[in-house]
């Protein structure tokens, strides 16, 4: 497959799957404690990735830099951020969680401007991010609520998760170009699964009742599709396109979550969704092509 086509396909696959994960996490949390849910998600993903690595005979480097990358991803992409997401979603709606995680491109752009000389923060990128984020807020403007006094802590947890993952993805971009994407995903997920499992056994009240049909299906979906398929492709894409452009996925996935609500739950669109989607698409277009258009306009005047 031509690499350009593969990039487009990978981008679409990630977008489609991550558009459903907020809803699936919420469904799983009805029975499964948050730390255990996140832990089992990564255990399932690790087992699948081990099979892929064995079949494809993928080399897993273990030199000092590789170990540092693995631990960075384990702590700042998977274990701590996902514990925060799962915990936070107990107290706020999926729509509000989507808005708050929409801060992710801001953090990616900020860290990239300091740590990656090749990815400077341009006016068009910043304008695109701001416009795209305003579109997410527009779509979920009626969903800016939380259910109890812990809502503010839940909101802070989602934003904190976005910050940590934004930092981690830039570290990956800078130091993990030579590590295969399956290895970058598998080893940190193994560490994260073990850490979250230990935390769950120590802190959460567990019973066999948590293994309902819905929670088990949620874990399997999030482990196989929401973790293996998405993160392997995400880390593969990270080596080929700018981190800021890739982070704009965080603006598209909530739109797909709304569409899934229409298709699966019989929900209806209103004018906010159309207006918000238009702002998101406009923001992404400005972030991607704004600088190019400015240069063309300048050259035309000259």
Rounded-to-integer distance, Cα 31 and Cα 84, Å = 18
Band of residue 200 on the pLDDT scale cut at 50, 70, 90: very high
Query: How many C-beta atoms lie closer than 10 Å to residue 223's C-beta?
Result: 22
| pLDDT value for 135 | 85
Mean confidence (pLDDT) of the chain: 85
The predicted-structure confidence for 258-294, as pLDDT tens digits, reads as follows 777 667 656 566 777 778 888 888 888 888 776 655 5
- Roughly how many angstroms between the first and final C-alpha of the chain, as a whole number? 41
Rounded-to-integer distance, Cα 258 and Cα 273, Å = 8
| pLDDT value for 291 | 62
Mean pLDDT, residues 78-82 taken together: 93
| pLDDT value for 190 | 96
DSSP string, 206-267: --GGG--HHHHHHHHHHHIIIIIIHHHHHHHHHTTS-HHHHHTHHHHHHHHHHHHHHHHH--
The predicted-structure confidence for 99-124, as pLDDT tens digits, reads as follows 788 889 889 988 998 888 888 878 88
Angle between helices 151-175 and 94-101 (to 10 degrees): 40
Residue 225 has pLDDT above 80, yes or no: yes
Domain boundaries, given as residue ranges, for the chain: 3-122+143-251
Residue 137 vs residue 108, higher pLDDT: 108
Percent of the chain at pLDDT exceeding 70:
88
Rounded-to-integer distance, Cα 286 and Cα 125, Å = 7
Distances (CA, A) of 177 to 74, 149, 180, 296: 17, 44, 8, 32
| pLDDT value for 144 | 62
| pLDDT value for 146 | 53
Residue 75 has pLDDT above 60, yes or no: yes
Range in 8-22, 103-117, 132-146, 163-177 the model is least confident about: 132-146
| pLDDT value for 53 | 95
Residue keyed to tokens 């073990």: 194
Residue 98 vs residue 300, higher pLDDT: 98
The predicted-structure confidence for 184-198, as pLDDT tens digits, reads as follows 999 999 999 999 999
Contact at 8 Å (CB) between 33 and 205? yes
Can you give the pTM of this predicted structure?
A: 0.83
């Amino acid at each position: 497959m031509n690499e350009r086509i593969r990039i487009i396909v990978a981008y679409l696959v990630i977008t489609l799957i991550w558009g459903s994960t907020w809803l699936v996490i919420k469904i799983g949390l009805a029975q499964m404690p948050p730390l255990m849910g996140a832990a089992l998600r990564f255990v399932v993903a690790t087992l699948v990735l081990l099979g892929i690595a064995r079949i494809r005979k993928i080399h897993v480097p273990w030199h000092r830099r590789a170990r540092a990358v693995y631990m960075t991803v384990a702590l700042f992409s998977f274990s701590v951020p996902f514990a925060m997401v799962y915990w936070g979603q107990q107290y706020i709606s999926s729509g509000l969680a989507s808005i708050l995680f929409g801060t992710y491109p801001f953090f990616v752009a900020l860290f990239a401007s300091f740590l990656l000389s090749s990815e400077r923060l341009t006016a068009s990128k910043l304008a695109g991010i701001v416009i795209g984020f305003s579109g997410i807020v527009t779509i979920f403007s009626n969903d800016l609520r939380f259910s109890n006094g812990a809502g503010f802590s839940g909101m802070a947890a989602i934003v904190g998760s976005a910050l940590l993952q934004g930092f981690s993805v830039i570290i990956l971009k800078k130091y993990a170009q030579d590590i295969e994407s399956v290895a970058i995903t598998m080893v940190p997920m193994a560490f994260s699964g073990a850490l979250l499992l230990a935390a769950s056994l120590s802190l959460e009240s567990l019973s066999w009742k948590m293994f309902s049909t819905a929670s088990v299906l949620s874990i399997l979906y999030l482990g196989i599709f929401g973790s293996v398929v998405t993160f392997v492709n995400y880390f593969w894409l990270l080596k080929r396109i700018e981190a800021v452009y890739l982070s704009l996925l965080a603006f598209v996935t909530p739109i797909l979550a709304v569409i899934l609500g229409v298709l699966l739950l019989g929900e209806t669109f209103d004018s906010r969704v159309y207006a918000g989607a238009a702002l998101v698409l406009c923001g992404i277009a400005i972030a991607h092509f704004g600088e190019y258009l400015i240069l063309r306009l300048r050259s035309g005047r000259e």
